[in-house]
Amino acid sequence: QSKVLTIGEVLVEIVATERGNGFREPVKLIGPFPSGAPAIFIDQVGKLGQAAAIISRVGDDDFGHVNLDRLKSDGVDVSGIDVDPLGTTGSAFVRYREDGGRNFVFNIRHSACGSIEIKGPAAALVETCTHMHVMGSSLYAPSVVEAILKATRRIKAKGGTVSFDPNLRAEILNSPGMREALAIVLGETDLFLPSGEELFLFSPADSEKEAVANLLKGGVKAVVLKRGAAGASYFDATREVSLPGFKVTEVDPTGAGDCFGATFVTFWLAGADPETALRYANAAGAKAVTRSGPMEGASTRAELDALIAEQRT
Ligand code: ATP
């Protein structure tokens, strides 16, 4: 049976209840919500009943336990989350602006997940996994980059597969070694899941078609392009499938890409055809934006079936 692994930040999100610009003035907050792009991704994989695991590090504090409890209850193997008695779990303060954008204050780099190592239970866990999912946003610290590259190469060497969501924020793209690490990951990637302009990040081109062709020529087996509310497209050497997004009311966009990716990967690993995988992934992305809180948007298979049935034309 396949088992999906991801590695990276586990943190809590604390959200301002009123829109506005940042945190220079006192504002009411709500939280903690379990969060971190890899954590949201793997929670959605677990919720679909697919074997799933995450390697990370948290402090032995309430913020860490909020995440451990949620992931465990959604079926994720958390044996690779090191609970550091001397560490602190990362946090992010988030405030939505009137224009729909977001301001963040992050406390990740100096928190427990600022260093992640593949040893002990985490090393044993890698041996049980058959698929690695890499989040570009997780390549934020040298030890984490090293852990991700080590697990990615090991799983690939065992005959496993790799998916890669660049999930990049401009502020981390230029951190030291980031572009090199991203290029190494891309070289191991079977399934590439960019969003919008991220398609051109590693393959500058005048058109989508040309960018996709370059990626496929470089060894990527399939590209899944996320297009926000407009839906998504799938490309491989012989097929191209595009499906529109589901019509929903957006409440909180956080986690849409992670839930979409998790669902696509789960269906792809189960051997679903691209159209089916894309339809379920679109449904998961749409469900994610209808709920506030980063990880609150993950759906069960029954919830995805219900949305698909409701909007079937
Ligand atoms: P994130 O904000 O999590 O980083 P992303 O940029 O990786 O997301 P998006 O393209 O914003 O990815 O969203 C991923 C998928 O979620 C889309 O391809 C689509 O299927 C679904 N989705 C996102 N926003 C909406 C929306 N407003 N309505 C319906 N579906 C949506």
Expressed in angstroms and rounded, the spacing between residue 261 Cα and the centre of ligand 1 is 10
The pLDDT of residue 292 is: 87
The pLDDT of residue 313 is: 59
Give domain limits for the chain.
Answer: 4-8+35-86+116-310
Whether ligand 1 lies within 6 angstroms of the CB of 140 is answered as no
Nearest alpha carbon, ligand 1 atom 9: 228
> What ipTM was reported for this prediction?
0.97
Identify the CA nearest to 7 among candidates 82, 111, 110, 106. 82
50 vs 113: CA distance, rounded Å: 25
Which residue pairs, CB below 8 angstroms and at least 24 apart, start in 298-305?
A: 298/40, 298/43, 298/44, 298/47, 298/74, 298/255, 298/259, 298/262, 299/44, 299/47, 299/259, 300/47, 300/48, 301/48, 301/49, 304/263, 304/280
The pLDDT of residue 171 is: 64
Whether residue 104 contacts residue 76, with contact meaning beta carbons closer than 8 Å, is answered with no
pLDDT, one tens digit per residue, over 267-312 is 999 999 999 999 999 999 999 999 988 999 999 999 999 999 999 8
Expressed in angstroms and rounded, the spacing between residue 122 Cα and the centre of ligand 1 is 31
Whether ligand 1 lies within 6 angstroms of the CB of 233 is answered as no
Identify the CA nearest to 2 among candidates 166, 163, 174, 150. 163
Nearest alpha carbon, ligand 1 atom 4: 257
pLDDT, one tens digit per residue, over 52-102 is 999 999 999 999 999 999 999 999 999 999 999 999 999 999 999 999 888
Asked if residue 39 has pLDDT above 70, the reply is: yes
Other Cβ atoms within 10 Å of 198 Cβ, number: 18
pLDDT, one tens digit per residue, over 141-197 is 889 999 999 999 999 999 999 999 999 866 667 777 788 899 999 999 999 999 999
pLDDT, one tens digit per residue, over 197-233 is 999 988 999 999 999 999 999 999 999 999 999 999 9
More confident of the two residues 139 and 74 = 74
**Burial (0-12, 13-18, 19+ Cβ within 10 Å), 98:** exposed
Expressed in angstroms and rounded, the spacing between residue 117 Cα and the centre of ligand 1 is 31
CATH fold of the domain at 4-8+35-86+116-310: UDP-N-acetylmuramoyl-L-alanine:D-glutamate ligase (3.40.1190)
pLDDT, one tens digit per residue, over 102-115 is 899 998 878 999 99
